[in-house]
Structure 1
């Protein structure tokens, strides 16, 4: 009898939020050096232990005086004061300013005793002994040197006591409340702490989050992946770790765990001993080999298993030892969506960080989207701006297992369980995957192409979805993308504006040296050779189909396609057939001369095809589209660098 765990009692998403909020994620407070305190959150109030500044300070270069001695001074009738010395910044004054006296002073210097104001230097004039009439009548007077140091200063503007002086404690006084608990320390706060002489800063600890990825098929980046065994690179560990850091936590990656119960138990217990929260991804579904829920039940407390939400139904929440635990789905988009929706807020709360103000954005649905499944849907969406700069929202749905959806989607829209559809133009709120997410400057779809890749490198923040020529035209007709890149013969008439294009040589990519001596399509028809085709949305496939169609009626076409081993099975990637040839998995593949040359393979030409960049007619004035048109017109060097390419 099967021991498969079924999801009979899916809880409401609100219950899942409340359950996660009830877990104890709060880390212990800590002290960090001032140099590391930016962005951290104060855990307690900081009071000033000293006056800032700690002395009466001159706020400009000039002369320290007694304010009442300058009363009545102006440009016509200045007041002359005797100089008694100089005070420099950072030096204790060694002079006292008495009645009728002044001391030269620098900005930031300590005010000397007796002085209560500063006259800015621009409102004074130095006076030397040789400058007055008495010294001129008495040449023998001591110090009679017009080039010697000044003996007095003429003040041409009156000042009141306190003018141009910062009194001790005027910035912050000893005993005053400087910063309160919960303050997220910015550059200005760091400056204040520096002024108070505080080097060790009491802050909230960052919640430590242990991350364990499960599944026998996963391989860590940097290690060799064996696709023939069904292996894939571990995406979730690094994606979720980045999300933890963005939310204010400290991520700790643990060694990869397969689907072995004992190893999974060991890693989870180890992580629970060392972390405030443990996250796992994968092994949470109802499969018999998914055993992680058993570990939680036996070594902790499993509070819920299954949430009425799409994607991410098989979520686990509980405790292992003294640590909180959340099990995320295995598919990358599902894992990130559930993390951002349910877990990131809890990490931010534990770290004392507020919800980012820019974490949500409002936009209008670019097209109608049907939905009626009776549970909350967290719909991955992308953003695009229209010709007026308004934000449009479109669904990104390649299936939860599609890793590229992570970069094609900008966030999620929460769709209520009772919603049957979202209408075109309906306003929705998008929960962004990151506060740094911005709509692309150009949204392009269509045919993947080496020249196009180089062209996009010259634009600022473009987004391109390689969906093929046929699908690209369909989406352009739907009004969502800015442009579609279309190659080969097309069977769809879509209103658009042609921005320009190029031609490329296509044909059969064969092993280096062409060991099977393939000369053309007939060799594939007449001989038992393995062939890798492109999918039906690709322009290259349309060009090949056109050549086959030219051979006769439907019967003749079927005879060709059925005789070529692999004709009806097509790959998505522009280089995929060539790479199959390079691996020795095929005798020939549909591809470009440029690809064959780059991979060191042979090539049998079957012709050239046109590649056109076609724009949404309502977006031709959009800055990103105008920039693309300009760059395309100046891209002759790109086409010259690729074998088989010519500018159109």
Structure 2
């Protein structure tokens, strides 16, 4: 039996920050070409070595004059000056403006000798060899003097300045082609686990393979924080291979990040690599999600490399990265902490919590009419659910001593980004292809396909604006029906069969929908009716169906199982069967209703959804078996 590593005493979040701060991951400064400097941070001051502009230049089209020659000129009493030539941008003047003369001049051109002002062309008339001036100008008018923008010897940009297009413009004006910047820490990323496959490669679900979410997610986070991500091949759960990859990364990078293999499982061996080939500073943090976190150092060819082990579940990995690792990368890259975007809102439901750890609770937001404060609701599908990454808008920190957050309580949300836009509509309920099309016509919606049963419950709790429910329901909910449609349902099959009775009587493999789906409730009602006709029970007939308890969540999943040969029949819709090119046995029509929570029917975004349903004729024409009622 394999040895199982128990967690040491969990460190506090403060101790985790201190452990990471003790690591050395700051590279030396470097010079980069100007065209590669955007987003980098200046390591030292840049002084101007030239005047900008380097000459007195005209700031508009007109005539270069001596200001004193125009004194007293106006519309009723203009002065006339002899025209002695012209000066255009990019050429040296070949004329001199003497008293009583002027020279035509273009915007940006060098002011010719003798001139000290420019009269705009709109205040002049060309008399043929002479120019009538109808306004007086003072010396310096419409002229940018040499060094007026920035003078040679002056401080142009200071250390710590993040280079944006504005700074690149100034550096270009100064003729700077290489920029001294803080080095970007190189961060090696190693995802562990025999089950991982890189996106784009062939996936074998029969072996339990899953696509690697963490490598690209964390790499994007590293780049956003100012580091240079380096992706390494996957490490399996083999000690020697894991050791080799981590040592390669340590030799080549300032910081090594791994994800997975950090918990107390017998196969999670990465902590052993760190203990035996480096120094383990921390194993386990009192935070949720993300308890199985490692901090240490890895031996390398030169100085030890900093190391942080992230949990394997994507939500946990990204949460720990954002909270503990990204700040360290920003410091190493010379970047300041980004502007923290926070928002207060009203918590929608009562949420119990009493685990003695700091909880970084993912939450979603939804706009409320009549107030700037949104409604806040928890988004917690478990750390392994990647959709939590996009369904949440930020984090609410829940103190370890908190027993619960009350419905209606004001909470502070730390947004994932200042660019987060609060959804205008939150819908929950049945997974439906017509609904997906309708939502495309609503500005900034969010829809959670949790099924009709769960959608009804959440509507009762008060967070969503609308719920879409299908099939028979035993639960009453206070709501307003805004519209409804019907969809043809039945069995998606690989070979023809004779209705529901055939499914029960023949030895067929079946894929069902989960109990939260309204379509499942409709199917169970039909099965109960068949049982009554036979003098039996629904449970007895269900036992005769091979795969009745094999359930999936999405409306296309049973049909895809049929198409792949994993099943002979699946519960589904005619629209899905025809989309996937499969046969279909109709069992009837199911009603789908759009319900609004009390007081939400007048919300503008809800109105957009209702209007989309009213105008859905083209969509229904593309979805066989659909009609509005």
Q: TM-score, normalised by structure 2?
A: 0.94
Q: Which residue of 309, 318, 322 maps to 1:336?
A: 318
In structure 2, the residue matched to 1:298 is: 276
- Residue 12 of structure 1 is matched in structure 2 by 12
**How much does 1:555 deviate?**
6.2
Distance 1:371 1:269 in 2: 40
Deviates more, 1:483-492 or 1:65-74: 65-74
Shift in CA distance, 564/178, structure 1 to aligned 2, threshold 3 Å: same
The residue aligned with 1:642 is 623
Does the 8 A contact of 1:386 with 1:619 survive in 2? no
1:261 correspondence with 2:242: no
Partner of 2:267: 289
Q: Distance in 1 between matches of 2:552 and 2:601?
A: 32
Q: For each residue in 1:426-482, what CA deviation from the matched residue of structure 2 results, as whole angstroms up to 9, or x when unmatched?
A: 222223334433222322111111222222233333222111111111111111112
Q: Is the CA contact 1:65–1:101 (under 8 Å) kept in the aligned structure 2?
A: yes
For the residues of structure 2 that align with 1:53 and 1:4, how far apart are their CA atoms? Answer: 71
Q: 1:364 aligns with which of 346, 350, 353?
A: 346
Tell whether the 8 Å contact from 1:337 to 1:412 is kept in structure 2 after alignment. no
Is 1:191 paired with 2:173? no
Give the 3-state SS of the residue equivalent to 1:272 in structure 2: helix
Question: Corresponding residue for 2:492?
Answer: 509
Pairwise mapping of residues 92-171 of structure 1 onto structure 2 (< 5 A)? Answer: 92-127=92-127, 149-150=128-129, 152-171=130-149
Which of 583, 587, 591 pairs up with 1:610?
591
- Cα deviation digits, residues 474-530 of structure 1 (max 9, x gap): 11111111211111112222122222221111112221x32xxx3122233334433
Match of 2:84, SS state, is: strand
Change (3 A) 1:522 1:76: closer
Residue 582 of structure 2 is matched in structure 1 by: 601
Aligned residues: 622
Q: How does 1:41-120 map to 2 (within 5 A)?
A: 41-120=41-120
Aligned to 1:472: 455
- 1:2 is displaced (CA, Å) by 5.2
Q: Which residue of 2 aligns with 1:537?
A: 516
Alignment counterpart, residue 432 of structure 1, candidates 401, 415, 430: 415
Deviates most, 430-439 or 551-560: 551-560
Secondary structure class of the residue paired with 2:537: helix
**Shift, 1:224, TM fit:** 1.9
Partner of 1:571: 552
The answer on whether the counterparts of 1:356 and 1:435 sit within 8 Å (CA) in structure 2 is: no
Q: SS of 2:522's equivalent?
A: helix
Q: CA RMSD in A?
A: 2.0
1:62, 1:106 within 8 Å by CA — same for their partners in 2?
yes
In structure 2, runs of 5+ residues without a counterpart are none
Query: Runs of 5+ in structure 1 lacking a partner?
Result: 128-148
The Cα offsets for residues 553-587 of structure 1, whole Å up to 9 and x where unpaired, read as 99623322233333344322222222232333333
TM-score by length of 1: 0.92
Give distance in 2, aligned partners of 1:241 and 1:71: 67
Partner residue in 2 for 1:233 = 211
Report the counterpart of residue 523 of structure 1 in structure 2.
Answer: 502
**CA displacement at 1:75 relative to structure 2:** 2.9
Structure 1 residues 123, 402: closer, same or farther in 2, change over 3 A? closer
Tell me if structure 2 keeps the 8 A contact 1:38–1:185: yes
CA shift digits 1:189-221 (9 cap, x unpaired): 221111111111222222221110001111111
Contact 2:343–2:373, Cα closer than 8 Å, also in 1: no
Separation in 1, partners of 2:227, 2:443: 31
d(CA) in 2 for partners of 1:107, 1:529: 83
Alignment of 1:343-492 (within 5 A): 343-357=325-339, 359-388=341-370, 390-492=373-475
